[in-house]
Amino acid sequence: MIIIMGSEVTDAEIGTVVKKLENAGLQANISRGIERTVIGAIGDERKLTPEMFTPLPGVESAMHVTKQYKIVSRESHKQDTIIDIGGIPLGGNQIQIIAGPCSVETQEQMDLSAQFVHEAGCRLMRGGAFKPRTSPYAFQGHGAEGLDMFRKAAEKYKLPIVTELMDARQLDTFLEYDVDVIQIGTRNMQNFDLLKEVGRCNKPVILKRGMSATISEWLMAAEYIAAGGNHNIIFCERGIRTFETYYRNVLDVTAIPVLKKETHLPVIVDPSHAGGKAWMVAALSQAAVAAGADGLLVEMHPSPCDAWCDADQALTPQELKKLMGTLSAIAGAVGRTI
């Protein structure tokens, strides 16, 4: 913690800060500059918050100098973590493309989807049974019944399944259907009770970035899961909210190298929700892999025009297959495989 004192600080004001630091078990280093005096805290600053100091008289600002996340940080664990999903490694040299429809609609749609996912060469499948929808009047997903259809369809091709958990009370159902990867959606990135709950199970968790979450808040959200004992966390960049209205979100590719530097955990990208249009998906997928992503979460539907939700962002099976070819070449260019 560094505490910056205003230009007309008094000795008494400095003394109050020092005493507060000492009461918390830390020591103070005082550096008197020409225009500002800076007080550095020596000791375990995780006990402190800037707000403990900023309301004190004479204090101009206060900030942490150490990262607030621990378990998920690269500092605490140098090697890349590889997460095992039913035998499929995520986070290593091989890049994983997780494909499938936005939502589980019918058994037939899921069977076809599983077949196309498999044929395209993907090793994991996605699909939503519980759907977060902006409107209460829109299709809310088939729920448990949807998980059942999904499980059956994926079984045939031995595809581990990825699906979204929206409420802690549904977790038992997820475990019952043996969901392989639990997805926490963008709107729940800071649903702390939900994070604590998935932190207590040992399933891999895909943690999507909140629509306007900073990298630091995202890492702290992961720390909530990790602090509960579950270290199988996969970050998923899915576009952030900005002023631009041409596309739904702005895919933040810079987050990829930054997360790879800050954390040892895998980083994947959802190009479908980022752009919001199928014709943007190839370019965004290619960019993500070129920038170092460990995987992608791509929407594919056997017949996009008939999809019950987000119809304009799903690839056709043919488009997915073609994309896999290009991605494979890009993976090779950056020393990886698909």
Question: Per CB under 8 A, does 298 bind a second copy?
Answer: no
Binding to a second copy (CB under 8 A) within 239-258 occurs at 240-247, 250-254, 256-258
Question: Per CB under 8 A, does 11 bind a second copy?
Answer: no
Smallest gap from residue 337 Cβ to a second copy (A) = 13
Q: Which stretch binds a second copy (CB under 8 A): 107-115, 120-128, 229-237, 303-311?
A: 303-311
Q: Helix, strand, or coil here: 174?
A: helix
Q: Which of 21, 23, 25, 15 is nearest to 2 (CA)?
A: 21
Question: Per CB under 8 A, does 51 bind a second copy?
Answer: yes
Binding to a second copy (CB under 8 A) within 77-106 occurs at none
Strand partners, 124: 98
Question: Per CB under 8 A, does 24 bind a second copy?
Answer: no
Location of structure tokens 């040892």: 264
Question: Per CB under 8 A, does 144 bind a second copy?
Answer: no
Question: Per CB under 8 A, does 35 bind a second copy?
Answer: yes
Question: Per CB under 8 A, does 289 bind a second copy?
Answer: yes
285 by Cβ neighbours in 10 Å (0-12 / 13-18 / 19+) ranks as buried
Q: Which of 113, 198, 192 is nearest to 153 (CA)?
A: 113
Question: Per CB under 8 A, does 323 bind a second copy?
Answer: no
Smallest gap from residue 241 Cβ to a second copy (A) = 5
Question: Per CB under 8 A, does 292 bind a second copy?
Answer: yes
Q: Which of 123, 192, 130 is nearest to 159 (CA)?
A: 123
* Binding residue (CB under 8 A) for a second copy from 24, 144, 168, 201: 168
Question: Per CB under 8 A, does 33 bind a second copy?
Answer: yes
Q: Which tokens belong to 237? A: 């960049």
Residues 7, 19: contact at Cβ < 8 Å?
Answer: no
Q: Which of 244, 316, 326 is nearest to 285 (CA)?
A: 326
* Binding residue (CB under 8 A) for a second copy from 187, 200, 229, 318: 187
